[in-house]
A and B are shown apart, each in its own frame.
Chain A
Amino acid sequence: MDKTKKRDLIVSLGLIALIFVVVAVLEKVLPTTSMLFTVLKKGSIYALVAVSMNLLNGFTGLFSLGQAGFMLLGAYTYAILTIPVEARAAVYQYYDGGIVQFSVPVIVGILLAGVVAAFFAYLIGLPVLHLKSDYLAIATLGFAEIIRAIFQWDKLGGLTNGSNLLRKFPIFHSTLFPFAVSALCIGIIVMLINSTYGRAFKAIRDDEIAAEAMGINLAHHKRLAFTISSFFAGISGALLAMFQTTVQASQFKSAMTYEILLIVVIGGIGSITGSCISSFLFVASSEWWLRFLDNSETYIGSLHLGLLRPGFRKVVFSVIIMAIVLLYQRGIMGDKEFSLTRIRQRLSGLFKKKKVQ
């Protein structure tokens, strides 16, 4: 059995490598302006933040709605620290070039984005983590809003540029970059979930009191999950900044957290692969596949569809989401993972039945 597990692991890694090769080849073949790359880039960033939210909501049972706030922290940290010194005068034109007069390499910037988000999460977690379910949700949502207000405050303009855009920081051009960073981070989260910590998280999710009785330190583990989840939310915030090429605090509204939550729900609460798949589906359908619904010049044969005009796509999209939430509550994957072992068992089961017949 151990041997087959190892083999499956190797095959899974091979599959991931194959995905990378396919993306690399596509980049060579297709024009760089193709919608596909936008979807892949944004999808991989959303996959990371969705998995980080799933670590909290799905695996630790902490219903937190602060993800947009931590992404904001990550995005700003990255942007502030990596804008080249010579570009600062132009970016901080209203604040005399800003107060940060150095810049760090991209990788350090991304790491620090995670660290800063995690640090604030630790501080926020101290008071709020003992709150129960929906009170926790509303308190974290409140913190995200407070963070957003602070970053728009003009007194801090020397650091955050007030409510103006931050820009001119290094960005990525290849789709492989966000893919690689996200894959690495999600890999670390998967390893964490499979460790003793992960088992403690699941125990807390299933029954707090029982978990405490078994000797799990509730406060410590909740804080750990919250901090780690925010670390990765911060990193995805940095990636999002690179993807968009500009950062502005006003875009990190609670609507963003809701979108991520819906991705997690569609993928299945408690399924990492589900979150990944659904974030690509979510981004692809909202940005690409349903575009035709916004075009009022769409005809079926000679029939002019009067309903179609800008905005209809989002209506259809939210109806689909509501249908999933109401009728298909377990999402795409439920709490299961996409696993080769089970697929093989299923297949071999099919073959065996055939033999009997």
Chain B
Amino acid sequence: MGFFQTNLPYLLAGISTGGQYALIAIGYTMVYGILRLINFAHGDVFMCAALMVIYSASYLPLYVSVPVAIVATGILGFAIERVAYKPLRTAPRMSAMISAIGMSYLLQNLALYVTGGLTKYYPPIPYISDSIEIFGAMTKRVTVITPIVTVVLIIALVSIIKYTKIGIAMRAVSRDFETAQLMGVKINSVISATFVIGSLLAAVGSTLFFSNYTGVTPTVGGMPGLKAFVAAVFGGIGSIPGAVIGAFIIGICENLIKGLGWTTFSDAFTFVLLIIVLMFMPTGLFGEKTTDRV
């Protein structure tokens, strides 16, 4: 019980961070499933969403500025795909990845220019930023809300993918790009929809994340982005439930490690996990088995 009591705050923080990583990881796993591209710019989209809330909140009330920023992030994701990845559809896979790295560099530098290199602080959102007490541990209400929001959004997303026309098209494209195209699936609109959905979820994730950790700098998206990607790999890239479970595991482990006083290694742990997963089960927890053909 004593162990439980001392580690409870970290466990709670872990569940909450895990939910936030899950919302980012979905963007990675969906894009990878369809384009076989590690979208390095996704973490920076997450950062841009936070900056948009901060800047719009100085002109608009919060209940307007947060939805506006979320929609704007969706548009940003759409624009990034059109500008940086669509021209490279037929190029080697590595070109698209380099373009993603370039895009990430561009977004970070734009953010640096706009913020002037100063750390911006996320506005406290009434209700979800309030402090509450759970089993004697003080925390923000966002800690409790995050897992609920995550689960609701994921159920919504899974139903979209399962039952709507665009969802069926997405599954077809991720199964076989060329055949789907031959069957009359409009590849470009499917890919755009994927990027928009991924960015919207990242924007929601960023609202939850920065309600907890309020400082926003241009490079703040890099680490959560990489961790969410590791979560996606861990769960089996292309699989949405896998990404969510992977994200929760990473979020909880990372915070427990912080609780043990090994903060230096909380980031490194994620990569150790990544390497172990790649070594021993390269397809992750729920990934599809693939075979190489000559």
Interface membership of A27, Cβ < 8 A? no
Task: Identify the interface centre among B91, B103, B109, B294: most chain A CB within 10 Å of its CB.
Answer: B109
> 1/0 contact trace for A141-161 toward B, CB 8 Å?
111011011101110000000
B interface, how many residues as a size bin? Answer: 35 or more
Chain B residue nearest to A316 (CB atoms) is B109
With A138-B274, A312-B113, A315-B113 known to touch, is A149 a contact of B265 (CB < 8 Å)?
Answer: yes
Q: Is A254 an interface residue when CB atoms closer than 8 A count as contact?
A: yes
Given contacts A134-B38, A322-B99, A325-B99, contact A311 B117 (CB under 8 A): yes
CA distance A141 to B102 in the complex (A): 16
Return the contact of B278 from the options A133, A139, A154, A258 (Cβ within 8 A).
A139
Contacts of B182 in A (CB 8 A): none
- Contact of B121 with A by CB under 8 A: no
**Chain B, Cβ-Cβ closest to A61:** B94
With A146-B268, A209-B294, A315-B110 known to touch, is A139 a contact of B274 (CB < 8 Å)? yes
Q: Complex: how many Å from CA A146 to CA B279?
A: 16
- Tell me if A262 and B105 are in contact (CB < 8 A): yes
Cβ of A138 and Cβ of B112 under 8 Å apart?
no
Q: Is B255 an interface residue (CB 8 A)?
A: no
CB of B268 within 8 A of CB of A145, answer yes
Contact with A along B254-294 (1 / 0, CB 8 A): 00000000001101101110110011001000000000001
**Which of B93, B116, B229, B230 touches A311 (beta carbons < 8 Å)?**
B116
The answer to the question of B104 belonging to the interface, with a C-beta cut-off of 8 Å to chain A, is yes
Q: Does B222 sit at the interface, judged by CB under 8 A?
A: yes
CB within 8 Å of A: which of B111-134?
112-113, 116-117
A307 to chain B, nearest CB (A): 9
Q: Is A32 an interface residue (CB 8 A)?
A: no
Interface check B139, CB cutoff 8 A? no
Asked whether any CB of chain A lies closer than 8 Å to the CB of B62, the reply is no
* CB < 8 Å neighbour of A321 from B95, B102, B108, B265: B102
User: B106 an interface residue at 8 Å Cβ cutoff?
Assistant: yes
Q: Quick check: is B233 within 8 A (CB to CB) of the other chain? A: yes
Q: Which of A127, A318, A329 contacts B109 (CB 8 A)?
A: A318
Interface residues of A in 261-278 (CB under 8 A from B): 261-262, 265
Name which residue of chain B comes closest to A265, CB basis: B98
Residue in contact with B106 in the complex, picked from A127, A209, A322, CB distance below 8 Å: A322
A 309-341 binary contact with B (CB < 8 Å = 1; else 0): 111101101110110011001000000000000
Known contacts A145-B267, A258-B105, A262-B105; is A138 also within 8 Å of B113 by CB?
Answer: no
What residues of A have a CB within 8 angstroms of the CB of B104 in the complex? 258
A145 to B268: give the CA distance in the assembly, Å: 6
CB of A160 to closest CB in B, whole Å: 12
**From residue A169, how far is it (CB to closest CB) to chain B in Å?**
24
B174 within 8 A of A: no
The minimal Cβ–Cβ distance linking A250 to chain B, given in whole angstroms, is: 11
Contact with A along B70-100 (1 / 0, CB 8 A): 0000000000000110011001011101110
Q: With an 8 A cutoff between CB atoms, is B214 at the interface?
A: no
A254 neighbours in B (Cβ, 8 Å): 222, 226
Report if A128 contacts B (CB, 8 A): yes
Given contacts A317-B109, A318-B109, contact A146 B272 (CB under 8 A): yes
CB distance B109 to A314 under 8 Å?
Answer: yes
Question: Could you tell me if B112 and A314 are in contact, using CB atoms closer than 8 angstroms?
Answer: yes
Are the CB atoms of A329 and B272 closer together than 8 Å?
no
Tell me which residues across on chain B come within 8 A of A329, comparing CB atoms: 88, 91, 95
Residues in chain A near residue B264, CB distance under 8 A: 149, 152-154
- Chain A residues positioned under 8 Å from B101 (CB to CB): 258, 261-262
> Is there a chain B Cβ closer than 8 Å to A176's Cβ?
no
Distance in angstroms between the alpha carbons of A312 and B109 in the assembled complex: 8
A183 at the interface (CB under 8 A from B): no
Other-chain residue from A133, A153, A318 in contact with B94 (beta carbon distance below 8 A): A133
Flag if A326 contacts B222 (CB, 8 Å): no
Q: Across the interface, name the chain B residue whose C-beta is closest to A147.
A: B268
Residue in contact with B267 in the complex, picked from A134, A149, A261, A265, CB distance below 8 Å: A149
19 contacts between A and B (CB under 8 A): A131-B278, A134-B36, A137-B97, A138-B230, A138-B233, A139-B275, A139-B278, A141-B226, A261-B98, A261-B101, A262-B101, A311-B112, A314-B112, A319-B106, A321-B106, A325-B99, A325-B102, A326-B83, A329-B88
- Top 3 closest pairs, chain A to chain B, by CB: A142-B271, A149-B268, A311-B113
Mark A residues whose CB is within 8 Å of B.
63, 127-128, 131, 133-135, 137-139, 141-143, 145-146, 148-150, 152-154, 209, 254-255, 258, 261-262, 265, 309-312, 314-315, 317-319, 321-322, 325-326, 329
Q: A142-B270, A262-B105, A329-B95 are in contact. List 6 more A-B contacts (CB 8 A).
A: A128-B275, A134-B97, A143-B275, A150-B268, A255-B222, A321-B105
